[in-house]
Structure 1
Amino acid sequence: MLQRGQYDRAIDKASEKLMKKPDNGKELAVLKEAYELANTFDQERIDFLELEGLEESWVEIYLLYEEMNIRQNKVRRLPSQVRSQFTFVNYDQKIVDSKAAAADVSYRRGEEFLAAGDKLSARQAYNEFEQADLIYPGYRDVVQKMAEAEIAGRNNALFLIENNSGMVVPEFFDSEIKKVTLKELNTLWLNIDTYENESIDYDHFVILNITDISFSPETIERRTFTESREIQDGMRYQLDDNGNVMKDSTGTDIRVPNMITVSAEITETVQLKSAVVGGSLNVYDLRTDQLVKTDNIGVEAVFRHRFGEYSGDRRALSEELQAVMRGREVPFPANEEMMMDAAELLKDRSKAIVARNRRVLES
Structure 2
Amino acid sequence: MLKYLRYLSVCLPAVILFACKSGEKLYNQGRYSAAVEAFVKKLQRRPQDETSLRLLPAAYDAAKDFYEGRAKQALASNNPLKWEDVKNEYRSMQALYNVIRSSPAASSVVKPKDYSAAIAASGENAAEVRYDRGIQLLDERNKAAARQAYDEFDAALRLSPNFRDAASLKEQAYQLGLVHVVVSEIDVRSSYFQFSADQFRDALVRNLEDRRINTFVRFYDERRVRGEKDFHPDQYMEMRFMDFMVGQTYVDRSQREVSKVIQVKGNKPDSTGKYPMVDITVKATIFVTRKTVESSGLLDYRIIDVTNDRILRQDRLPGSFTWQNQFGTFRGDERALSDADKGLIRGRDIPPPPPQDLFLELTRPIYDRLARDLQSFYSQY
- Partners of 1:209 and 1:282 within 8 A in 2: no
Percent identity, please: 21
TM-score normalised to structure 1 length: 0.78
1:290 aligns with 2:290: no
Q: Distance in 2 between matches of 1:334 and 1:81?
A: 83
Matches within 5 A, 1:177-326: 177-179=200-202, 180=204, 181-186=207-212, 187-195=214-222, 197=225, 198=228, 199-215=230-246, 217-226=248-257, 265-311=285-331, 312-313=333-334, 316-318=337-339, 321-326=341-346
Question: What SS class does the counterpart of residue 2 from structure 1 fall into?
Answer: helix
The change in CA–CA distance for 1:270 and 1:39 in structure 2 (over 3 A counts) is same
Task: In structure 1, give the amino acid aligned to 2:211.
Answer: L
The change in CA–CA distance for 1:307 and 1:62 in structure 2 (over 3 A counts) is same
Q: Distance in 2 between matches of 1:324 and 1:62?
A: 76
Instruction: Indicate the residue corresponding to 1:96 in structure 2.
Output: 120
1:37 Cα deviation from its structure 2 partner: 1.3
1:159 aligns with 2:179: no
1:136 aligns with 2:136: no
- Partners of 2:304 and 2:310 within 8 A in 1: yes
Instruction: Indicate the residue corresponding to 2:15 in structure 1.
Output: none
Structure 2 gaps of 5+ residues are 1-25, 265-277
Question: What SS class does the counterpart of residue 252 from structure 2 fall into?
Answer: strand
Q: Distance in 1 between matches of 2:295 and 2:32?
A: 72
Q: Distance in 1 between matches of 2:165 and 2:137?
A: 16
1:52 Cα deviation from its structure 2 partner: 6.4
- Per-residue CA deviation, residues 32-89 of structure 1 (Å, 9 max, x unaligned), is 22211111122233345556697633222223222212111111112x3332111233
The two structures, once aligned, show a CA RMSD in angstroms of 3.3
- Per-residue CA deviation, residues 147-192 of structure 1 (Å, 9 max, x unaligned), is 22222222222223553x7555433033111122222333212222
Matches within 5 A, 1:336-355: 336-355=356-375
Task: In structure 2, give the amino acid aligned to 1:40.
Answer: D
Q: Distance in 2 between matches of 1:27 and 1:212?
A: 82
The structure in which a higher percent of residues are helix is 2
Task: In structure 2, give the amino acid aligned to 1:93.
Answer: A
Structure 1 gaps of 5+ residues are 235-257
Aligned length: 334
Instruction: Indicate the residue corresponding to 1:62 in structure 2.
Output: 87
1:267 Cα deviation from its structure 2 partner: 2.0
- Per-residue CA deviation, residues 218-258 of structure 1 (Å, 9 max, x unaligned), is 22212222456799x89xxxxxxxxxxxxxxxxxxxxxxx9
Of 36-45 and 348-357, more deviation after overlay is shown by 348-357
Task: In structure 2, give the amino acid aligned to 1:75.
Answer: I
- Partners of 1:307 and 1:326 within 8 A in 2: yes
Q: Distance in 1 between matches of 2:29 and 2:248?
A: 81
1:332 Cα deviation from its structure 2 partner: 4.2
Instruction: Indicate the residue corresponding to 1:37 in structure 2.
Output: 62
- Partners of 2:255 and 2:288 within 8 A in 1: yes
Instruction: Indicate the residue corresponding to 1:255 in structure 2.
Output: none
1:85 aligns with 2:109: yes
Instruction: Indicate the residue corresponding to 1:170 in structure 2.
Output: 193
The change in CA–CA distance for 1:342 and 1:142 in structure 2 (over 3 A counts) is same
1:76 aligns with 2:90: no
Question: What SS class does the counterpart of residue 222 from structure 1 fall into?
Answer: strand
Of 49-58 and 17-26, more deviation after overlay is shown by 49-58
Question: What SS class does the counterpart of residue 87 from structure 1 fall into?
Answer: coil
The change in CA–CA distance for 1:355 and 1:52 in structure 2 (over 3 A counts) is closer
Q: Distance in 1 between matches of 2:342 and 2:305?
A: 56
The change in CA–CA distance for 1:49 and 1:226 in structure 2 (over 3 A counts) is same
Matches within 5 A, 1:11-22: 11-22=36-47
Q: Distance in 1 between matches of 2:329 and 2:248?
A: 24
Question: What SS class does the counterpart of residue 33 from structure 1 fall into?
Answer: helix
The change in CA–CA distance for 1:49 and 1:344 in structure 2 (over 3 A counts) is closer
1:200 Cα deviation from its structure 2 partner: 3.9
Relative contact order, higher structure (CA 8 A, sep 6+):
1
Instruction: Indicate the residue corresponding to 2:271 in structure 1.
Output: none
